[in-house]
Amino acid sequence: MSQRQMHLGVYAVGSGNHIAGWRYPGATTSGENLEAFKQIAASCERGKLDFLFVGDSLAFLPGGHPGQVTRFEPTTLLSALSCTTTHVGLIGTASTTYSEPFSVARQFASLDHLSGGRAGWNVVTSTLPEAAENFGREMVDHDHRYEIAAEFVDVVQGLWDSWEDGARIENKETGQYYDLSKVHELGHKGQFYSVKGPLNITRTPQGRPVIVQAGSSPSGQALAGRIAEVVFTVQLELDVAREYYDNIKRYAVAAGRRPEHCNILPGMVPIVGRTDEEAQAKLAQLMTYVDSTSAMQTMSRRFGHDMSQYPLDGPVPDLPVSNLKQGYSTVASAKAKRLGYTLRDIYNEIAIARGYLLACGSPTTVADIMQEWFEGGALDGFVLLPAHFPEAFDDFIDLVIPELQKRGLFRKDYQGTTLREHLGLPKPENRFARARSEAQGDK
């Protein structure tokens, strides 16, 4: 049997994932720099990564993480990158709270066509109250956002099925352009949406773009288990991560899915040097750039509460359940309790790694950490969050990837061209084609 291998993608942020990474010598500084993203995408393909991921939010938030202050709209950026790449998957974020299913279905179907089958949609419910104000809406409650999201995704997937393969015929001889028996109305009338369909774009190379999701709260996990083909998460301790992993896989199985079709990828910040000492020196240098206001804001966003009201040298407070975000607070509080951390310890970790797992050291040290978590049954791979670009990412690609390949833990070359192929996901069956063949079988 061939060895199980990791899936790896990068969280591409023009100004770096570290709060002050953009200040590192030689680092790109802006999230509105196409050349920088083209370079990140090229490094992904050099390292044979599964995907490049672009996050999003829908409000201007001064003073926080620079990567979240200004940025390109993800599907627009990924469409540009589809022209400069041939293999790497292109995953973008779109909100189920502030979009319409028809538009989202169309955007990602377009990206899937443009990229030859490399599109993925990161389904988010949006946590910022400021975003609600940009859409003239009230902030929707946390669990209610997930109920809306569940129906939203069902509609989008239904629309992606509304055209069967081979429905566009383009027969110059006969003049037949479509086979309309293979184009279907969806006729969806649900609790939140009413969508007739069909979509005005044909079935895409992947059948359906890949669904990605990141909720870690109980309702987020349930949705992830039901719909997500890739799950992003924050995990800080191996045994907690293992529990989370088992839980999501259980949800997936309960929803009638195969567990290996739901890839769980925690975020990891790699800081790589040729030696452990060199990596530690890079980390120390990064920390000299951190300004306390932006670190405090980032911590408050992670917890979904204003954390500046609590003493930094006291324990991590018991917090009421947030209406904004829940997953991180649970993971960080558990770690703090177990290790006797003060709030300042958590604050420092967030400044270093935005609250994600940190792997700092030589290529062997970083690969050892990744291998331990992977073989420890806690994950199917990682979303890499390099502190800055291009150097910190290229260090990973050029130093750690060969080490993982040597250990048989990561592919030496792409085996396919679509994101589904990279992730080991089958092309989904079209519900209308299946219904037809079942009806014919019944005859």
Token digits for 332? 């960080």
Residues that bind ligand FMN (CB under 6 A): 55-57, 93, 122, 124-127, 214-217, 220, 232-234, 267, 325-327, 383
Neighbours of 62 (CB within 10 A): 8
CA 234 remoteness from chain centre: 11
Minimum gap (Å) between residue 371 Cβ and ligand FMN: 21
Q: Classify burial at 415, counting beta carbons within 10 Å of its beta carbon; exposed 0-12, middle 13-18, buried 19 or more.
A: exposed
Instruction: Kindly tell me which of 150 and 183 has the beta carbon lying closer to ligand FMN.
Output: 150
Q: Which of 169, 206, 163, 203 is nearest to 186 (CA)?
A: 163
Angle formed by the axes of helices 238-254 and 363-375, nearest 10°: 40
Instruction: Kindly tell me which of 122 and 206 has the beta carbon lying closer to ligand FMN.
Output: 122
Based on its alpha-carbon atoms, the radius of gyration of the chain, rounded to whole angstroms, reads 22
DSSP string, 218-261: HHHHHHHHHH-SEEEE---SHHHHHHHHHHHHHHHHHTT--GGG
Q: Which of 244, 239, 153, 227 is nearest to 190 (CA)?
A: 153
The DSSP call for residue 355 is: T
Confirm if 101 and 120 have CB atoms less than 8 A apart. Answer: no
Instruction: Kindly tell me which of 57 and 82 has the beta carbon lying closer to ligand FMN.
Output: 57
